[in-house]
C-alpha cells in the first residue's frame, strides 16, 4: 500500500497514519516527525529547519525531497508507506512522482482529510505529543487512557508543539491554503484523490478512511 494523506494541520492525518501503520504493516512517513528528530539531534539540517518550523513556514522543496528520498530507501518502506505531511507543494508532488517512477512504486491513492477551519483551531489548541514515544493525543477527545504507560513503563510525558500556538497556527493554515491546497486539483486530475469527512470520532474517521482506500 502506497498512500498519501493530505489535509490542513490538525485535520488528523498524523493520528490516523499512526493507527493505520499497524493495521496495514507499512510505516507512517511523517516529514514533520523526521524534521523534529533532526531538530532534537541538533544536526545542521535540524538547526536550519527549527527556525523555519517555529515560524510556521515550509522547509524548502529541495531539502524535503532529499529527506523523503533517503527515508523511502530504508528497508521498512519496501512493502509500502503512508506519507503524512508530504508532499506539501506542487514542486514536491512532481519530485515525488519522479522518485516513485524511478523506484517503480507509484502511489495507489491520495486521501484528502476534509474539515472545517473552526474545528482545526480547537484541535490544534488541545493537541499534545508524548516527548518520549511521539504519540499524538488530544486533551479532550483523545487523552491517554487511565493508567496507560509509555514504551518505558512510565506515564506519557505530554508536551505542546512549539508551532501549535495561536499565531503560528494561523500562519500555518494560510500556508496550507496557499501552497498545499493546489494539490487537491493536481491529484484529482490524476484520478488519485479520495475525499473523506475528517470530523468525527477517531473510530468514525478510521472507518471512512478504510472505505475510501478499499
Ligand atoms: P507537521 O508535523 O506535518 O505539521 O510539520 C511541521 C512543520 O515541519 C511544518 O509546519 C513545516 O515547517 C515542516 N514540514 C513538514 N513537512 C514539510 C514538507 N513536506 N515541506 C515543507 N515543510 C515541511
pLDDT at 159: 95
Task: Enter the C-alpha cell of residue 9.
Answer: 494541520
Query: Does the annotation count 154 as an active-site position?
Result: no
83 forms bridges with which residues in the sheet? 4, 29
* Residue 36: pLDDT over 90: yes
Q: In what order do the strands lie in the sheet with 109-114?
A: 28-30, 81-84, 2-7, 109-114, 193-197
DSSP 159-201: E--GGGSHHHHHHHHHHIIIIITHHHHHHHHTT-EEEEE--S-
The CATH number given to whatever domain includes residue 84 is: 3.40.50.300
> Contact, 104 vs 98, CB < 8 A?
no
Atom from ligand 1 closest to the CA of residue 9: 4
Structural domain span for residue 123: 2-206
Among 30, 31, 161, 175, which residue has the most ligand 1 atoms within 8 Å of its CB, making it the best to mutate?
31
Q: Is 165 exposed, middle or buried (0-12, 13-18, 19+ CB in 10 A)?
A: middle
Catalytic residue, from 127, 128, 179, 208: name it: 127
pLDDT for the residue 119: 86
pLDDT digits (tens, 9 = 90+) for 76-117: 999 999 999 999 999 999 999 999 999 899 999 999 999 998
User: How confident is the model at residue 141, as a pLDDT?
Assistant: 86
Number of the ligand 1 atom closest to the C-alpha atom of 85: 3
What pLDDT sits at residue 22?
87
Distance between Cα 28 and ligand 1 center (Å): 15
Instruction: State the average pLDDT for the chain.
Output: 94
Find out whether the peptide bond into 109 is cis, omega within 30 degrees of 0: no
Q: How far is the CA of 141 from the centre of ligand 1 (A)?
A: 24
**141, 150, 127, 144: which is closest to 203 by C-alpha?**
141
Number of other CB atoms surrounding residue 101 within 10 Å:
10
Q: In angstroms, rounded to a whole number, what is the distance separating the alpha carbons of residues 152 and 38?
A: 22
Half-sphere exposure of 169 (CA within 13 A, CB side): 20
Residue 127 bears catalytic tag: yes
Q: How many structural domains compose the chain?
A: 1
Q: Which residue has the cell 510556521?
A: 56
Pocket of ligand 1 (CB under 6 A): 9, 31-32, 35, 52-53, 56-59, 64, 85-86, 88, 92, 163, 172
Q: Which atom from ligand 1 is nearest to the alpha carbon of 68?
A: 19
| Catalytic (active site) residue 74 | no
Residue 214 inside a domain? The answer is no
Atom of ligand 1 nearest to the CA of 163: 10
Give the CA count within 13 Å in the CB-facing half-sphere of 206: 11
| 211 is a domain residue | no
- pLDDT, tens digit (0-9, with 9 covering 90-100), for 176-214: 999 999 999 999 999 999 999 999 988 999 999 999 998
Measured CA to CA in angstroms, residue 186 lies from 13, 59, 100, 107, 162 at distances of 19, 21, 17, 13, 31
Q: Per the confidence metrics, is the pTM higher than 0.85?
A: yes
Q: Is residue 195 part of a domain?
A: yes
Q: Over the stretch 118-177, which tens digit does the pLDDT of each residue have?
A: 888 888 889 999 999 989 999 988 999 999 999 999 999 999 988 998 899 999 999 999
172 noted as active-site residue: yes
Q: How far apart, in whole angstroms, are the C-alpha atoms of residue 34 and residue 32?
A: 5
Amino acid at each position: 500500500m502506497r498512500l498519501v494523506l493530505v489535509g490542513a494541520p490538525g485535520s488528523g492525518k498524523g493520528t490516523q497514519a499512526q493507527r493505520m501503520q499497524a493495521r496495514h504493516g507499512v510505516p507512517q512517513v511523517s516529514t514533520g516527525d523526521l524534521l523534529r528528530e533532526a531538530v532534537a539531534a541538533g544536526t545542521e539540517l535540524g538547526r536550519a529547519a527549527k527556525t523555519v518550523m517555529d515560524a510556521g513556514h515550509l522547509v524548502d522543496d529541495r531539502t524535503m525531497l532529499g529527506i523523503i528520498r533517503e527515508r523511502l530507501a530504508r528497508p521498512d518502506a519496501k512493502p509500502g508507506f503512508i506519507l503524512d505531511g508530504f508532499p506539501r507543494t506542487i514542486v514536491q508532488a512532481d519530485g515525488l512522482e519522479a522518485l516513485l517512477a524511478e523506484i517503480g512504486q507509484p502511489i495507489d491513492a491520495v486521501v484528502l482529510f476534509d474539515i472545517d477551519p473552526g474545528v482545526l483551531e480547537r484541535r490544534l489548541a488541545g493537541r499534545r505529543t508524548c516527548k518520549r514515544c511521539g504519540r499524538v493525543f488530544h486533551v479532550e477527545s483523545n487523552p491517554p487512557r487511565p493508567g496507560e504507560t509509555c514504551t518505558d513503563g512510565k506515564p506519557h510525558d505530554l508536551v505542546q508543539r512549539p508551532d501549535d500556538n495561536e499565531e503560528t497556527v494561523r500562519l500555518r493554515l494560510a500556508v496550507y491554503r496557499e501552497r498545499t491546497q493546489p494539490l487537491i486539483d493536481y491529484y484529482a486530475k490524476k484520478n488519485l484523490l479520495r475525499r473523506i469527512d475528517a470530523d468525527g470520532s477517531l473510530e468514525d474517521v478510521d472507518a471512512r478512511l478504510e472505505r475510501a482506500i478499499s
